């Protein structure tokens, strides 16, 4: 049960912001921030006002039901209205609880996605390529902007590793549950006996950190330059264009050599490093806050097996929520992706609400 005082404070906050924004006297630097806060509360304000009036509305209907002079038809109408009122109140209560849950500031950020081939050799690299194509298709459907940061190819068109940034609206909140081990079960093209092989790829989704999110001292960085090599590097390997950036305090290291320009490689490397350091700090804070409870749905744990893509049976199963979709082809085309994400988000919200009530 949400305390009435909490809801009243929300309504008062909405009213105060409305007056402040319409006064024309608000500082320009604060206008965008206040407008966003007002817009967020505006989405829930009607529900909040209904929540406040619930007790009065309920009492009025109960009076009719308990009034000996009321005729039967009126009582039946009041009884129906009371049932509907109670049901709606339960729905509104849940909406308000979700709104009042602590917000993850990273949810609205863009994301860095890293995909690496795991166990399974060549087949794992082909699966890593399939996953990357899936995220490309999802990005295209949602009109997100996917920009390649680095890529390392294997034989037969597979990928050893690929790192990309994805920009758009609420990217991290949509993709954050993708982090973990993705397992594939299928018959490789090279398999003559028709046996099903199991291989895997890891996915890490990190919120893209801005300079204002994280202060990195130049003195904490060691930057080494070297000549790029490998496929695609022939045109640039006559100069020291490749860059390795090491964050000395944490030991985190990023290498970047895809660009011909040392400056561009450094900029891309810093983008990855900043995202990894930001996620490292977020994980440390989350651990401190939640040592007393475990959640079923995690984010960021690359060792956790989260999903299986079974080709012979045409199904994709998310092990965290025990959801199986018998539409593997559509899922890899980005068609059924939202269905999975919505189920994961809903389950995560349910867990948060459960923890809130403890």
226 in the same domain as 152: no
Q: Is residue 91 part of a domain?
A: yes
3-state secondary structure 94-147: HHHHHHHCCCCHHHHCCEEEEEEECCCHHHHHHHHHHHHHHHHHHHHHCCCEEE
Provide the token pair at 79. 């009884």
Decide if pLDDT at 314 tops 90. yes
64 in the same domain as 141: no
302 in the same domain as 181: yes
Q: Which of 170 and 295 is assigned the larger pLDDT? A: 170
Beta carbons of 162 and 132 less than 8 angstroms apart: yes
Task: Give 2's pLDDT tier (boundaries 50, 70, 90).
Answer: confident
Residue 64 has a CB neighbour count (10 Å cut-off) of 16
Question: Alpha helices of the chain — where are they, by DSSP H?
Answer: 4-22, 28-42, 45-66, 72-100, 121-141, 171-175, 262-289, 328-332, 337-356
> Whole-angstrom distance between the N-terminal and C-terminal Cα of the chain?
12
Q: Domain holding 262: CATH number?
A: 3.30.160.20
Q: Is residue 226 part of a domain?
A: yes
pLDDT (average), residues 236-242: 67
- Specify the pairing of strand 180-186 against strand 305-310: parallel
The structural domain count of the chain equals 3
Q: Domain holding 339: CATH number?
A: 3.30.70.1660
Q: What is the C-alpha to C-alpha distance for residues 308 and 311, in angstroms, rounded to an integer?
A: 10
275 in the same domain as 146: no
pLDDT per position as a tens digit, 106-121 = 888 999 999 999 988 8
Decide if pLDDT at 285 tops 90. no
Q: Of 158-167, 222-231, 255-264, which range is least confident?
A: 222-231
Residue at which a domain ends, from 287, 311, 336:
287
Decide if pLDDT at 296 tops 70. no
Decide if pLDDT at 281 tops 50. yes
Decide if pLDDT at 275 tops 60. yes
Q: Which domain holds residue 317?
A: 105-205+298-356
Give the contacts of 334 (CB within 8 A, at least 6 positions apart). Answer: 134, 137, 138, 140, 141
What pLDDT was estimated at residue 103?
A: 75
Q: Which of 331 and 289 is assigned the larger pLDDT? A: 331
Q: Which of 232 and 2 is assigned the larger pLDDT? A: 2
Task: Give 356's pLDDT tier (boundaries 50, 70, 90).
Answer: low
What pLDDT was estimated at residue 321?
A: 93
130 in the same domain as 96: no
Q: What is the C-alpha to C-alpha distance for residues 152 and 149, in angstroms, rounded to an integer?
A: 11
Residue at which a domain ends, from 41, 65, 100:
100
Residue 223 has a CB neighbour count (10 Å cut-off) of 13
277 in the same domain as 319: no
190 in the same domain as 119: yes
Provide the token pair at 21. 């924004």
What pLDDT was estimated at residue 230?
A: 54
201 in the same domain as 127: yes
147 in the same domain as 187: yes
Provide the token pair at 315. 């199904």
3-state secondary structure of 224: strand
Residue burial 117-147, b: 16+ Cβ < 10 Å; e: rest: bbebebbbbbbbbbbbebbbbbbeeeebebe
Specify the residue for token string 């009041």: 78
Residue at which a domain ends, from 255, 287, 319:
287
Give the contacts of 199 (CB within 8 A, at least 6 positions apart). Answer: 118, 119, 120, 121, 123, 124, 127, 183, 184
What pLDDT was estimated at residue 233?
A: 41
What pLDDT was estimated at residue 107?
A: 87
272 in the same domain as 136: no
């Amino acid at each position: 049960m949400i305390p009435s005082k909490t809801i009243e404070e929300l309504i008062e906050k909405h009213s105060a912001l409305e007056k402040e924004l319409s006064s024309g006297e608000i500082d320009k630097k604060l206008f965008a921030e206040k407008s966003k806060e007002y817009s967020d509360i505006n989405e829930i304000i009607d529900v909040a006002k209904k929540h406040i009036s619930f007790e009065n509305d309920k009492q009025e209907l109960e009076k009719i039901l308990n009034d000996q002079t009321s005729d039967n038809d009126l009582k039946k109408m009041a009884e129906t209205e009371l049932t509907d009122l109670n049901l709606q109140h339960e729905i509104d209560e849940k909406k308000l609880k979700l709104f009042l849950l602590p917000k993850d500031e990273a949810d609205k950020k863009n994301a860095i996605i890293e995909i690496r081939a795991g166990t399974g050799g060549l087949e794992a690299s082909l699966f890593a390529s399939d996953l990357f194509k899936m995220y490309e298709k999802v990005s295209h459907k949602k009109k997100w902007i996917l920009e390649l940061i680095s890529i390392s190819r294997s034989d037969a068109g597979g990928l050893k590793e690929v790192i990309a940034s994805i920009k758009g609206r609420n990217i991290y909140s949509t993709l954050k549950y993708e982090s973990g081990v993705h397992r594939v079960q299928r018959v490789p093209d090279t398999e003559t006996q028709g046996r099903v092989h199991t291989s895997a790829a890891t996915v890490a989704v990190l919120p893209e950190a801005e300079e204002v999110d994280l202060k990195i001292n130049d003195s904490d960085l060691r930057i080494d330059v070297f000549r790029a090599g490998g496929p695609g590097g022939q045109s640039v390997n006559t100069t020291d264009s490749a860059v390795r950036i090491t964050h000395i305090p944490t030991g985190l290291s990023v290498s970047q050599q895809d660009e011909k320009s040392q400056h561009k490689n450094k900029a891309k490397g810093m983008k990855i490093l900043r995202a990894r350091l930001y996620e490292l700090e977020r994980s440390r804070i989350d651990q401190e806050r939640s040592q007393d409870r475990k959640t079923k749905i995690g984010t960021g744990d690359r060792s956790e097996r989260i999903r299986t893509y079974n080709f012979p049976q045409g199904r994709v199963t998310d092990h965290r929520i025990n959801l199986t979709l018998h539409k593997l082809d559509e899922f890899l085309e980005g068609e059924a992706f939202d269905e999975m994400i919505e189920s994961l988000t809903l389950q995560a919200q349910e867990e948060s609400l459960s923890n809130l009530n403890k």
